[in-house]
Chain A
Amino acid sequence: MLDRTHTIPKNRFEDWHLEKVSSLLKNFDNEEHNLIDVLHFFQRTFGYIDKEVIPLLAKFFNLSRAEIHGVISFYHDFRQSKPASYILKICQAESCQAMGSRKLTTELKAALDIDFHETNNEADITLEPVYCLGNCSCSPNLTINSQLFSRVTSDHLKQILEELKNAQHD
Chain B
Amino acid sequence: MTKIYLPRETTALSLNVEEVISVIRKEASERSLAIEVIRNGSRGAAWLEPLLEMDYEGERIAYGPVRTTDVKGLFDANFLNAGEHKLKLGPIDEISWFKQQQRLTFQRSGKTEALSLEDYSEFDGFAGLKNALTLKSSDIIKTVLNSGLRGRGGAAFPTGIKWQTVADAEADCKYIVCNADEGDSGTFSDRLLMEGDPFCLIEGMLIAGLAVGAELGFIYLRSEYPLTKKILEEAITKARETGYLGSNILESDFNFDIRLHIGAGAYICGEETSLLESLEGKRGQIRFKPPLPALEGLHGKPTVVNNVITFASVPIILSKGANYYANFGQGKSFGTMPFQLSGNIKQGGLVELPFGLSLRELIENFGGGTHSGKPIGAVQIGGPLGAYFSGEQLDTTLDYENFSAAGGMLGHGGVVVFDDSIDYLDQASFAMEFCAIESCGKCTPCRIGSVRGVEVIDRIRNSKDQSDQDNQYELLEDLCDTLEDASLCAMGGLTPMPVRSAVKLHQLSTQGIVPETEQEEVQSNEP
- Please give, as numbers and ranges, the residues of chain A lying within 8 Å of B488 by CB-CB distance: none
Q: In the complex the two chains form, is A36's CB within 8 Å of B278's CB?
A: yes
Contact with B along A7-37 (1 / 0, CB 8 A): 0000000000000000000000001111111
Cα–Cα distance between A146 and B19 once the two chains are bound (Å): 16
Q: In the complex the two chains form, is B427's CB within 8 Å of A77's CB?
A: no
Residue of A34, A95, A102 touching B342 (CB-CB under 8 A): A95
Residue of B14, B69, B422 touching A148 (CB-CB under 8 A): B14
Cα–Cα distance between A6 and B448 once the two chains are bound (Å): 46
Residue of A76, A136, A146 touching B266 (CB-CB under 8 A): A76
The answer, yes or no, to whether B316 is at the interface (CB within 8 Å) is: no
Q: In the complex the two chains form, is B10's CB within 8 Å of A131's CB?
A: no
Chain-A contact segment, one of B132-140, B219-227, B454-462: B219-227
Cα–Cα distance between A83 and B437 once the two chains are bound (Å): 21
Contact status of A75 and B266, CB under 8 A, knowing A94-B427, A150-B15: yes
Q: In the complex the two chains form, is A40's CB within 8 Å of B224's CB?
A: no
The answer, yes or no, to whether A168 is at the interface (CB within 8 Å) is: no
Q: In the complex the two chains form, is B281's CB within 8 Å of A95's CB?
A: no
Contact with A along B414-437 (1 / 0, CB 8 A): 101111001000110010001001
Q: In the complex the two chains form, is B384's CB within 8 Å of A76's CB?
A: no
Residue of A35, A36, A93, A98 touching B344 (CB-CB under 8 A): A98
Q: In the complex the two chains form, is B280's CB within 8 Å of A33's CB?
A: yes
Interface centre among A39, A70, A132, A133 (most CB of B within 10 A): A132
Question: In the complex, what's the smallest C-beta–C-beta distance from B321 to chain A, in angstroms?
Answer: 32
Residue of A61, A98, A137 touching B349 (CB-CB under 8 A): A137
Contact status of A148 and B13, CB under 8 A, knowing A131-B183, A138-B46: yes
The answer, yes or no, to whether A99 is at the interface (CB within 8 Å) is: yes
Chain B interface extent, by class: 35 or more
Interface centre among B224, B278, B280 (most CB of A within 10 A): B224
Q: In the complex the two chains form, is B185's CB within 8 Å of A94's CB?
A: yes
Q: In the complex the two chains form, is A98's CB within 8 Å of B418's CB?
A: yes
The answer, yes or no, to whether B267 is at the interface (CB within 8 Å) is: yes
Contact with B along A85-116 (1 / 0, CB 8 A): 00000000111111100100000000000000
The answer, yes or no, to whether B11 is at the interface (CB within 8 Å) is: yes
- Please give, as numbers and ranges, the residues of chain A lying within 8 Å of B164 by CB-CB distance: none
Cα–Cα distance between A139 and B47 once the two chains are bound (Å): 11
Cα–Cα distance between A138 and B347 once the two chains are bound (Å): 10
Contact status of A134 and B182, CB under 8 A, knowing A77-B265, A97-B430: yes
Cα–Cα distance between A39 and B42 once the two chains are bound (Å): 32
The answer, yes or no, to whether B348 is at the interface (CB within 8 Å) is: yes
Contact status of A136 and B343, CB under 8 A, knowing A3-B20, A141-B14: yes
The answer, yes or no, to whether B273 is at the interface (CB within 8 Å) is: no
Contact status of A131 and B185, CB under 8 A, knowing A37-B262, A71-B282: yes
Q: In the complex the two chains form, is A99's CB within 8 Å of B344's CB?
A: yes
Contact status of A135 and B69, CB under 8 A, knowing A75-B266, A99-B344: no
Contact status of A138 and B14, CB under 8 A, knowing A74-B284, A95-B185, A97-B430: yes
Q: In the complex the two chains form, is B11's CB within 8 Å of A150's CB?
A: yes
The answer, yes or no, to whether B283 is at the interface (CB within 8 Å) is: yes
Chain-A contact segment, one of B147-155, B186-194, B245-253: B186-194
The answer, yes or no, to whether B68 is at the interface (CB within 8 Å) is: yes
Cα–Cα distance between A31 and B282 once the two chains are bound (Å): 12
Q: In the complex the two chains form, is A74's CB within 8 Å of B266's CB?
A: yes
List residues of B (474-527) whose CB comes within 8 Å of A's CBs.
Answer: none
Contact status of A71 and B281, CB under 8 A, knowing A134-B10, A136-B343, A136-B348: yes
Question: In the complex, what's the smallest C-beta–C-beta distance from A41 to chain B, in angstroms?
Answer: 11
Question: In the complex, what's the smallest C-beta–C-beta distance from B227 to chain A, in angstroms?
Answer: 9
- Please give, as numbers and ranges, the residues of chain A lying within 8 Å of B13 by CB-CB distance: 148
The answer, yes or no, to whether A58 is at the interface (CB within 8 Å) is: no
Question: In the complex, what's the smallest C-beta–C-beta distance from B278 to chain A, in angstroms?
Answer: 7
- Please give, as numbers and ranges, the residues of chain B lying within 8 Å of A75 by CB-CB distance: 263-266, 284
The answer, yes or no, to whether A130 is at the interface (CB within 8 Å) is: yes
Cα–Cα distance between A133 and B14 once the two chains are bound (Å): 11
Cα–Cα distance between A132 and B281 once the two chains are bound (Å): 23
The answer, yes or no, to whether B341 is at the interface (CB within 8 Å) is: yes
- Please give, as numbers and ranges, the residues of chain A lying within 8 Å of B186 by CB-CB distance: 93-95, 132, 136
- Please give, as numbers and ranges, the residues of chain A lying within 8 Å of B262 by CB-CB distance: 36-37, 40
Contact status of A4 and B340, CB under 8 A, knowing A77-B223, A135-B10, A138-B11: no
Q: In the complex the two chains form, is B46's CB within 8 Å of A132's CB?
A: no
Question: In the complex, what's the smallest C-beta–C-beta distance from B222 to chain A, in angstroms?
Answer: 8
A–B pairs, 29, beta carbons within 8 Å: A1-B16, A3-B15, A3-B19, A3-B68, A32-B282, A33-B279, A36-B262, A36-B263, A40-B264, A61-B281, A71-B283, A75-B264, A75-B266, A76-B266, A77-B223, A77-B263, A93-B186, A93-B434, A97-B426, A134-B222, A134-B224, A136-B342, A136-B348, A136-B414, A137-B349, A137-B350, A139-B343, A141-B14, A150-B14
Q: A34-B281, A36-B278 are in contact. List 18 more A-B contacts (CB 8 A).
A: A3-B15, A3-B16, A5-B19, A5-B68, A6-B19, A67-B282, A75-B263, A76-B265, A77-B265, A93-B186, A98-B422, A99-B371, A131-B183, A132-B187, A135-B11, A138-B14, A138-B49, A148-B13
Q: Lowest 8 A-B CB distances belong to which pairs?
A: A137-B348, A93-B185, A136-B342, A75-B264, A98-B343, A137-B46, A77-B265, A35-B281
